Structures are given as structure tokens and as C-alpha cells.
A and B are shown apart, each in its own frame.
Chain A
Amino acid sequence: MEQSLIFIAGGILMGLGAIGSGVGIGILGGKYLEGVARQPELQPMLMTQLFISLALVDAVPIIAVGISLYMIFAI
């Protein structure tokens, strides 16, 4: 019983985290392409900024994935 609850909790953690970051990274990538299309010469600078914000958006779901995998396998 307890083990199956941990599986469900891990699934919810990963799934809900992925929804948020999916929307976030989608908007981020779209805006980046828009920016590059408007001013191609800014592309290297925008790329660095893209990676920084990508990491910030990515952090919460990837931490959720890490913690849920830890819950499922290590506890």
C-alpha cells in the first residue's frame, strides 16, 4: 500500500511539474525565435539569455523528477 502511494506521488510530481515547464519553455523558445527573426545579429547574446532562463524554468520540474525518482527507488 505505502509503496503504491509513493509511485502515485512520484507520477503526480513528475507530471504536474512537466505541464508547467512545458508551457514555460514553449513560450520561451517561441519568443527567442521571434527575437532572432527580428534581429539576427543579436542571436549569440539571446542564446546565452535563453539558456539562463531555460535553466531557471527547468529547475522546478527537474528537481521534482529527481526527488520523485529518489522517492521511488531509494526509499
Chain B
Amino acid sequence: MQSETQTSSEYIQHHITNLTYGKFPDGSWGIAHSIEEAKAMGFNAIHVDTMFWSISLGVVFCALFYWATRNLKAGVPGTLQNVCEMAVEFVEDNIRQVFGTRPNVIIGPLSLTILVWVFLMNLMDLIPVDFIPALAAMAGIHFMKVVPSTDPNATLAMALGVFFLVMYYNIKMKGPVNFTLGLFTHPIDHWAAAPFNFLLEMVDLIAKPLSHGLRLFGNMYAGEMIFILIALLPFYAQWALSLPWAIFHILIISLQAFVFMILTIVYLTQAHETGDH
């Protein structure tokens, strides 16, 4: 839905700009009204649309599962109960397979939250790209990016949250001394190789949350960008590309939600391994 006054590059720019609330260069606070203003804010800014959509989807997830548990039926369960049970059992199976049966109270709820929340955030990608931004424009909001997982801030924040938990369990399970020693002795157990080991382990430690968050961002951003490019075609030709890509995208969004969850489990499992190394 490109209007006559816009070039295609302006249209794309408009679609990938977040609704930004932040500090203007002159010191006052407010919502940016153009792309240049949003860029000039730099670090002192928050993406209002990302926050809004991710938090509301989190609320939707909690409400849905709460509602399902209040209305359990033992005989013939309804659709919602079936879906929720499937999600819970799927997560449980994966945790059993990878994590084993160690006592841990947080990994189950964490994995379920990540799976369903990331899935819901990715699902926003299947809503037509112009639908919600056009509604928002009618309400006087200039920028609206509806898929929170196409914002690196959201995905890296989640990856960072998982990373903090990994560090916490590393220190809790291995002890602060053993964990620090492990950084120096892990690949090659010889005193002369300690600096090399430390370098290697540090790269490993930092690359994990970075690739964890950027993987989800990259997949969703590329998918969203292709939807936006398809929306630039004349309206009678859009369905021919949009429909196959949307169907293929259903696979991608669920796969990425699954991968984000399974990597969380794998990283937490690694943090719990108190073996000989």
C-alpha cells in the first residue's frame, strides 16, 4: 500500500523505523516524528512499539494459559486445553531429552515462556505488513513496527536474560573458584596454555548470547523485509508471492521459536555440567 508521494525506498524506511520515545538533541523528551529525529536520539531512546507489542503478547500468553488451567476438563478437553497441553508436553519432552532430570525449578517455566512468547511475537509477522501501521496512522501514530522480534533490542535482551541465568547457574553449580579455574584450564589442561584457554573461553562465552539473539533477529528481519518488498508490487500481483512466502514463513516462525527454546535448554544444561573439566 504505497502512496503516490512516496518512493519505494522511503516506503521501506518508513516500515523499518520504530516508534521511538527519547531525548532530543536540545534536551527535551518526546516521540520522534521523523527518521532523522529518531536517529539523532542515539542511546537515550526507547522503542515504544516493541515494548508495547512484546508486553501485550506476554500478557496474552499468560492470560491464555491461565484461562486454560481454570477450565480444565478431564473428559473431552477443548481446543485451547489441547493446544496448551501440547505445548507443555512438548517442552517437557525436550527438557527430559536434553537437560535430564536434575532438580531445577526454573527451566520448565522459562522454556515454556520462551517457546510461546517468541512464537507469538513471530506470529505478528503473518499479519499483513500495512494493516496495523495503517490503522495506527489513522490514529495519528506515524511509525509502527508490529513484530517485536525484528527489533534487535528485543531479541538481544531475551538472549541476555538467558545469559545471566547461565552465568548464575555456572557459579552456583560449579562454585565461583571452579568456574573461574575452568575458564583457564578447559580446552588444554596445561599451565602454559592458560592465556590461550582464557581467550578461547571468553570468545565462546560472548558469542553464545550474541548468536542466540542475532539468529532470531536475522531470521525475522529477513522475513519481514521480504514481506515489505512484496508489498511494493502492484496489488493484483501480491498474492502470488505473498501467499507462498507466508506459508513457508509459518515453518520459519515456529522453527525459530523452537530453536530459541532448545538453545536456552542446551546452554543451561552446559552450565549444570559439573563433570571433570
Contacts and interface: CB of A to CB of B under 8 A. Distances in A.
Interface string B217-232: 1110110010000000
Interface stretch (B79-87, B123-131, B255-263): B255-263
Contacts of B13: 73-74
Given A62-B219, A66-B221, A73 B214 contact: no
B12 A73 contact: yes
Contacts of B221: 66, 69-70
Interface residues of B, number: 21
B16 A74 contact: yes
A51 B215 contact: no
Interface string B140-153: 00000000000000
Interface residues on A, range: 10 to 19
Contact of B217 (A55, A66, A73): A66
A62 B215 contact: yes
A73 B17 CA distance: 11
B215 A59 contact: yes
A52 B262 contact: yes
B94 interface: yes
A48 interface: yes
Contacts of B263: 52, 55
Interface string B58-87: 000000000000000000000000000000
A1 to B, nearest CB: 17
A60 B266 CA distance: 18
Given A52-B266, A63-B218, A45 B255 contact: no
A66 B214 contact: yes
20 contacts: A51-B259, A51-B262, A52-B259, A52-B263, A55-B255, A55-B259, A55-B262, A55-B263, A62-B215, A62-B218, A63-B215, A65-B218, A66-B214, A66-B218, A66-B221, A66-B222, A69-B221, A69-B225, A73-B12, A74-B13
Please give me the 10 A-B residue pairs with the lowest Cβ-Cβ distance, nearest first: A66-B218, A55-B259, A62-B218, A63-B218, A59-B215, A66-B221, A63-B214, A65-B222, A59-B211, A69-B225
